[in-house]
Structure 1
Amino acid sequence: MRSKLFVPGSRPELFAKALAGDADGISFDLEDAVAETRKAEAREAVRAFLKNVEAVGRKILIARVNALDTPHFAADIACVAQPGLHVINLPKPETPDQVRAAADAIERAEHANGVVAPIGLLLNIETPKALRDAAALAAAHPRVVGLQLGLGDLFEPLGIDRREAAAVRQAMFAVRMAAGVAGVYAYDSAFANFRDVEGFREEAALSRRLGFLGKSCIHPSQVALANAAFRPTDAEIAHALQVLAAADAASAHGVGAYVVDGRMIDAPFAASARAVVANARRLGLLPAAAAHPTTHHE
């Protein structure tokens, strides 16, 4: 999921347009993008859309609900936990017990709504406490599929400049390490100034270098930028294919470490190469002859 586009739940006229766009994921926002007086209207609009399972296509569909301590959480979960939804994005969890409570609410709603495939939980890391305890939050329940950094909510109350590069890097690194502890993915924050194309590119490039899966988009114009930033380059794909071919040859000769293009390669690098090839295959970036370089590494 290179790109995830937020769509206000109170704007159902935008749902089909977002679905037809190039974002890998669509996040129906019931939280920040919806005025208090329109919360019920928004959740009903999202519920009605998700009931039309045939319209889902291949997009990853996400719903950002309101936080556990709001009067809207229970109703949000009851509405959006539908067969068409893949992930629920939970704002501001701070304790493992809160994560487990959210997971329990989702399970009850799944049973009530006839959901067969379990819906995942994407946890927003957007408070100092959540950042400190991010690894524990990520490991709190098997439903957790990822951690999403929320830099605006994290920085603004503390008076930290959202564009302070050192702070951004440190927060990204902490979230990526926490996600790594739990074996889930890390997903990048939104970038509010959608007219600052270079700023978005720079931040997306940084998050990719730090191992993030993709970036949130608040405007359709950011989708192409995110898709480009998190696309494996031709050079990366070619190198990954070389690594896998060399890994097969090394395995056949009982060799654990070997050299590709002057670099020492062993198991962690081969695993990374497999991930690059798998991602390239999903995106249709590999020619047929190269799509399955070996059966050993499928």
Structure 2
Amino acid sequence: MRSKLFVPGNRPALFAKALASAADLVSFDLEDAVADADKDEARTQVSTLLRSGTHRTAGKQVIVRVNGWDTSAWEADLRTVLPLDIDLVNLPKVESPVQLLQAIAEIEAIEARLPARAPVGLLVNIETPRALRHADAIARAHPRVRGLQLGLGDLFEPHGIRRSDLRNVHAAQYALRMAAAEAGVFAYDAAFPGLDDEAGFLAEAESARALGYAGKSCVHPRQVAWANTVFAPSHEEIEAARRTVDAAARTGEGAFAVDGRMVDAPFLARARSVLAIAHRKEGTA
């Protein structure tokens, strides 16, 4: 999940390009990227594509970002999206566990009228000061929550917080990552608005990767390669992880030494995670 490419739901001309891109995930957006007058058209276009199964033929995981639970578009979005073959629903503007549970109750009411299937998982946006303060409780509120996604535009811009100061970015990334870690869900980094600012994108992405984020959102195909590079384990990391896992197989899973350092359960878990990521990368190369 190194890269997630946003695609406006009312821009069907971009769908095939997104599915053919190197992005690990494609996120069809019914929310901020679509004007109110175009919401119905966006739902129709996204539904038509996903009912065709083209996304599975392309080997893509797919997310749909719906409009907020307190908007007029919310129910229509759910009725369109929940019957579709998707991997996650992206919920924006959630600020508390109470709001999340209210949204899930409405999702469940619609799912109850659909053919039986596994409950859809949720990627929950954390994009306001209140949401960030309650992020751990939001992440732990329901087992449908698979991950938290940072939204720096909404979090910073209304309050005059400078995104160009990486200290501010790191503070928000750290807070969300700790909340996700406490809940045992993944953390996903924010989209970066600078389409030609490779250095700025990489600075945020590298900060997120150092904190254990799964990947970064992209708003343009050129950003996908940048994200994939940052979040892919290096050859050195893969080989070190392999040595750690091999040593555990030889000696057992207590404490043991590898490459001149002591290794125990947390380090072994990380090594296995690195190998799993490398295996997925090889499978989608």
Fold-level similarity (TM above 0.5): yes
1:1-298 to structure 2, matched below 5 A, reads 1-57=1-57, 58-114=59-115, 116-251=117-252, 256-284=254-282
Contact 2:6-2:217 within 8 A present in 1 as well: yes
Alpha-carbon separation, structure 1, partners of 2:69 and 2:83: 19
Contact 1:50 1:82 survives alignment (8 Å): no
**In the aligned structure 2, how far is the partner of 1:63 from the partner of 1:101?**
19
Separation of aligned partners in 2, 1:107 and 1:15: 29
The C-alpha deviation readout for 1:42-63, integer Å capped at 9, x for no partner, is: 1121122221235423211111
**In structure 1, C-alpha distance between the alignment counterparts of 2:43 and 2:55, rounded to whole Å:** 18
Q: State the Cα distance separating 1:278 from its structure 2 match.
A: 1.1
| TM-superposition CA deviations, 1:34-86 (whole Å, max 9, x none) | 01111111112112222123542321111111111111111111111133111
SS at match of 2:62: strand
Where structure 1 has 5 or more consecutive residues not aligned to the other structure, the ranges are 286-298
Shift in CA distance, 212/47, structure 1 to aligned 2, threshold 3 Å: same
Distance 1:87 1:112 in 2: 19
Q: SS of the counterpart of 1:138? A: helix
8 A Cα contact 1:83 1:115, kept in partner: no
What 5-or-longer segments of structure 2 have no aligned partner?
none
Q: Which amino acid aligns with 2:269?
A: A
Deviation at 1:249, TM superposition (A): 2.0
Q: What displacement does 1:113 show?
A: 4.2
Residue aligned with 1:118, SS: coil
Q: Is the 8 A contact 1:50 1:80 kept in 2?
A: no
The alpha-carbon deviation at position 112 of structure 1 amounts to 3.7
Q: CA deviation at 1:261?
A: 1.2
Q: How many angstroms does 1:115 deviate by?
A: 5.9
> How many aligned positions are there?
282
Shift of 1:283: 1.4
Q: Which runs of 4+ in 1 moved over 4 A?
A: none
